[in-house]
Amino acid sequence: MPYDYDNQNIFAKILRGEIPNDTVLETDHALAFNDIGPQAPVHVLIIPKGPYVCFDHFAIEASDTEIADFNRAVAKVSQMTGVAPGAGGNGYRAIANCDDDGGQEVPHFHIHIVGGHNLGPMLS
């Protein structure tokens, strides 16, 4: 079944400026902002500006330009927040939840960058 994007989801409202956000980075095709309920000292969400639901939706349907811009934004956030080893940090976790089994709460594709302390093993 093809993806059906709900343009009333909370991140669509953030992109339209209807809900405020704590912006970390904005590029041509991506917006990064602090998570409203941080699970670690650093918890930033990076979203593409286009209407994509999950990672596979984005990676298959977005243009190469959007994908390159988005990937670069994720990497920049990891460095700007100081968690990337390339910026002197101790590392981070990048998470993309998809749909029911993935525990996705907001149906607009996003990557969580989480770090700032030791997160331990992912599946425990």
Active site residues: 110
One of 10, 59, 67, 94 touching ligand 5GP (CB under 6 A):
10
Check if the beta carbon of residue 80 is closer than 8 Å to that of residue 65.
no
Q: What are the E-state strand segments in the chain?
A: 23-26, 30-34, 42-48, 92-95, 111-115
Q: Which is nearer to ligand 5GP, 2 or 103 (CB)?
A: 103
Interface with ligand 5GP includes 97 (CB under 6 A)? yes
Residue 36 or 68 having the CB closest to ligand 5GP: 36
Instruction: Find the helix or strand (DSSP H, E) in which 64 lies.
Output: helix 64-80
Q: Considering the complex, state which of residue 45 and residue 86 has its C-beta at the smaller distance from ligand 5GP.
A: 45
| Interface residue list for ligand 5GP (CB under 6 A) | 10, 19, 21, 33, 35-37, 45, 97, 103-106
